[in-house]
């Protein structure tokens, strides 16, 4: 098993709460992690119809089989158990007795908030970070290979060609989850919608345009997008609102958690094809932002992540905020550093300085160093406005930023 960054956090939660819940997309390694962390606990999958029927027909007897607790996999499939589980944990007061996993935010979290509020420690587990694979000495042959293959555990572990596994993953897991959460009548339109989302990864979200391109209304597009969020396929990065005297973008940016899935949905079928594709840059940014988001969630850090963009198109891809302190990061998919790459970083720094001077307050120093630019090349550089970081070094740099080092 490749060690997961989240394991120490899971162990800590089990010391503080009677119930620990691990959520995340299907096939992200939740079951592997909880079984490796708690090898002595009985394991039950509520995906199995006969097990689920037994649990729902006689909940007290079912839970009574496990005097010291158990791992209940895909617990959102039997939400009726939660009220009975509340009675057990309040009676026994044993920390870390029960471990729940679930692949739907809406299903598992809604039941927790209703029946187990205050009794559950929550952990979100996403597909691998590049940092986890580097620590296990499992490098990729190239940046394009990493973006195309993605970071889901199964194809990396078994050597399944990404196109085959991702096609099966979308058909067997994604569509099934959507059927459970949403009454979609036109599946072909929904598939088109997901593919259009993939083609827009790392772009500012425009629901009207997205809906129009798919032949659906904006409210329908918003509802379908919420399902993709609940299934841990996509996330929205909010804009950072700072009063710089100019209009700022107020819409979030859309990202996929996994570049391999986004590339496959967008029709990219090889790393060589990706190298020549217009999606190379957006997927590079998607990976870099998702890497930071994953680390933040796996380690349960409190950094707040944003982007900044004004109405004329100047943009900083990632802002890492700790209180009133900010660190700015730009991502570029080129392999040769160009002078015009630093324009947005310079503009943002100047605007911050001007705003601070106008408010008669000193500019807040950026913690841990200067702005950073991450690119697809291999040599670190120091420029006047930013430190230039090669892409393999981003996981370590991101960890330091998120920990405010």
Q: Please write the tens of the pLDDT for every residue from 209-251.
A: 999 999 999 999 999 999 899 889 999 999 987 665 556 678 9
Distance of CA 12 to the CA centre of its chain: 21
Say yes or no to pLDDT of 182 above 80: no
Residue corresponding to tokens 């072909």: 188
Domain boundaries, the chain: 7-124, 130-402
350 — pLDDT class (breaks 50, 70, 90): confident
pTM, entire model:
0.93
Say yes or no to pLDDT of 7 above 80: yes
Distances (CA, A) of 125 to 143, 214, 287, 343, 402: 23, 31, 16, 36, 17
Cα(389)–Cα(202) distance, rounded to whole angstroms? 20
- Region 128-148: what's the mean pLDDT? 94
* pLDDT given at position 365: 43
* pLDDT given at position 266: 96
Task: Give the CATH superfamily of 7-124.
Answer: P-loop containing nucleotide triphosphate hydrolases (3.40.50.300)
Q: What would the DSSP string read from start to end of 187-231?
A: HHHHHHHHHHHHHTTTEEP-HHHHHHHHT--HHHHHHHHHHHHHT
Handedness of CA 233, 35, 42, 21 (dihedral sign): negative
- Token reading at 352: 């911050």
Say yes or no to pLDDT of 369 above 80: no
79 — pLDDT class (breaks 50, 70, 90): confident
72 membership: H or E segment, kind and range? strand 71-73
User: What burial class does residue 304 get, using C-beta atoms within 10 Å of its C-beta: 0-12 exposed, 13-18 middle, 19+ buried?
Assistant: middle
Say yes or no to pLDDT of 277 above 90: yes
Say yes or no to pLDDT of 123 above 80: yes
148 and 260 in contact (C-beta within 8 Å)?
yes
């Amino acid at each position: 098993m490749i060690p997961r960054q989240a394991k120490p956090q899971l162990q800590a939660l089990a010391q503080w709460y009677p119930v620990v819940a691990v959520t995340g997309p299907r096939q992200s390694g939740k079951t592997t992690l909880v079984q490796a962390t708690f090898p002595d606990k009985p394991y039950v999958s509520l995906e199995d119809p006969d097990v689920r029927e037994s649990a729902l027909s006689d909940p007290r007897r079912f839970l009574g089989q496990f005097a010291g607790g158990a791992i209940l996999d895909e617990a959102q499939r039997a939400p009726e158990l939660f009220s009975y589980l509340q009675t057990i944990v309040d009676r026994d007061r044993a920390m870390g007795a029960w471990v729940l996993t679930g692949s739907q935010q809406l299903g598992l979290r809604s039941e927790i908030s209703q029946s187990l509020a205050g009794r559950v420690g929550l952990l979100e587990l996403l597909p691998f970070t590049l940092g986890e694979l580097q620590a296990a000495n499992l490098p990729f042959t190239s940046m394009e290979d990493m973006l195309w293959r993605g970071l889901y555990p199964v194809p990396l572990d078994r050597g399944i060609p990404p196109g085959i596994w991702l096609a099966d993953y979308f058909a067997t897991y994604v569509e099934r989850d959507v059927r459970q959460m949403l009454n979609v009548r036109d599946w072909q339109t929904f598939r088109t919608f997901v593919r259009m989302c993939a083609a827009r990864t790392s772009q500012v979200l425009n629901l009207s345009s997205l809906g129009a391109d798919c032949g659906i209304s904006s409210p329908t597009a918003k509802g379908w997008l919420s399902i993709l969020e609940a299934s841990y396929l996509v996330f929205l990065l909010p804009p950072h609102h700072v009063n710089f005297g100019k209009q700022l973008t107020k819409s979030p940016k859309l990202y996929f958690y996994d570049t391999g899935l986004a590339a496959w949905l967008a029709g990219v079928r090889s790393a060589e094809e990706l190298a020549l594709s217009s999606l190379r840059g957006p997927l590079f940014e998607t990976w870099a932002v998702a890497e930071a988001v994953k680390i933040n969630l796996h380690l349960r850090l409190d950094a707040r992540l944003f982007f900044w963009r004004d109405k004329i198109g100047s943009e900083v891809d990632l802002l890492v905020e700790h209180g009133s302190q900010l660190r700015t990061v730009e991502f570029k998919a080129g392999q040769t550093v160009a002078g015009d790459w630093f324009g947005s970083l310079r503009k943002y720094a100047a605007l911050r300085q001007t705003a601070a001077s106008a408010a008669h307050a000193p500019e807040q120093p950026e913690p841990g160093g200067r702005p950073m630019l991450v690119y697809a090349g291999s040599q670190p550089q120091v420029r006047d406005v930013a430190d230039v970081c090669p892409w393999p070094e981003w996981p370590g740099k991101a960890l330091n930023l998120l920990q405010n080092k």
